[in-house]
Amino acid sequence: MAIATLKLKEYKKDASPTEVAIIDYILKNAEETSQMTIYDLAEKTFSSPSTIIRLCKKTGYKGYKDFLKDLIYEQAVRSNYKKKHIAELTKTDEVEEIINKVTHKNILSLEETEKLIDTETIKTCVDKLFECEKLTIFGMGASLIVAKDAQLKFTRINKMSYVSEDWHTQLLMAKNMSEKDVALVISYSGQTEEMITCTEVAKENGATIISITKTDESPINRLADYAIYVASNEFSFRSGAMSSRIAQLNIIDILFTSYINKMYEETIEILEKTQIKKEQD
């Protein structure tokens, strides 16, 4: 299922001034809103029940009650996450504590990311990957590792994919994209300047943009045609981009496996053909 507040964030760029005011109020007071009637919310936002209902329908809901059900569920999930809070790494941690904290942080990141995934978005992204003429993957730093993993996977099933370790080359690839192509932009923060530039250039050329970022609003997920989110629960000690990388790789695995499933018989043959067999001792 999609998270209610994420649907609002994604619609905000197309919203009217009145709708923006309602969205901003809900985002700042999500827990309080989950307990409100439509009349309470209308009063708080100086709007009308009919405006709120139209906003709910524009974000994919049947009405306010349908939206409220998702919002209440989201608050329950967030409350559960807070209970599972894992302590930060500290200088005094023994190896046993580090093993426990890092492992459970990664598990929690995967669990939280699963709750953020919108099934319909994944299905549409797979369709776009299937139909595109060229798949170009963008990433810097730790996200580049994820981009290279994606390239290897899709290339193996004969979906030729392109990635470069050099940013200037990535920019050149973006400049050569067209409306027949898909740009897969991987950036945990969604605010890496080089990735913003590549995304803007690819979009100007008509390419379909799929982003993988954390849930916070960012330039990259605002530019994206289809935004996929990972949990934003990285350790503050983040020089190695740990749990975020695991979550990003999980998204790549989901896209790849869904792609295989779409053309199962043909893909199985290709996978067998491209398997690099190792000699037995």
Instruction: List the helix and strand counts (H, then E) for the chain.
Output: 14, 5
3-state SS, residue 5: helix
3-state SS, residue 64: helix
3-state SS, residue 80: helix
Spatial contact of 122 and 257, defined as CB atoms under 8 Å apart: no
Q: What is the DSSP code string of 230-275?
A: E-----S--TT--HHHHHHHHHHHHHHHHHHHHTHHHHHHHHHHH-
- Global confidence as pTM: 0.73
Q: Kindly report the length of the chain.
A: 281
Report the 10 Å Cβ neighbour count for 169: 12
Please identify which residue in the block is written with the tokens 């330039």.
219
Helix axes 49-58, 64-83, angle to 10 degrees: 70
Across the chain, mean pLDDT equals 87
In the predicted structure, residue 240 carries a pLDDT above the cut 50:
no
Residue 73 is predicted with a pLDDT of 82
Confidence of residue 237 (pLDDT cuts 50, 70, 90): very low
> Helix/strand/coil (H, E, C) string of 47-62?
CCHHHHHHHHHHCCCC
| C-alpha to C-alpha distance for 256 and 260, rounded to whole angstroms | 6
Ordered by where they begin, the domains of the chain are: 4-81 (1.10.10.10), 119-274 (3.40.50.10490)
pLDDT digits (tens, 9 = 90+) for 193-227: 999 999 999 999 999 999 999 887 889 999 999 99
Confidence of residue 78 (pLDDT cuts 50, 70, 90): low
The residue ranking higher by pLDDT, 269 or 122, is: 122
**C-alpha radius of gyration, the chain, whole number:** 21
pLDDT digits (tens, 9 = 90+) for 16-37: 999 999 999 999 998 899 999 9
Tokens of 38: 């439509």
Spatial contact of 162 and 151, defined as CB atoms under 8 Å apart: yes
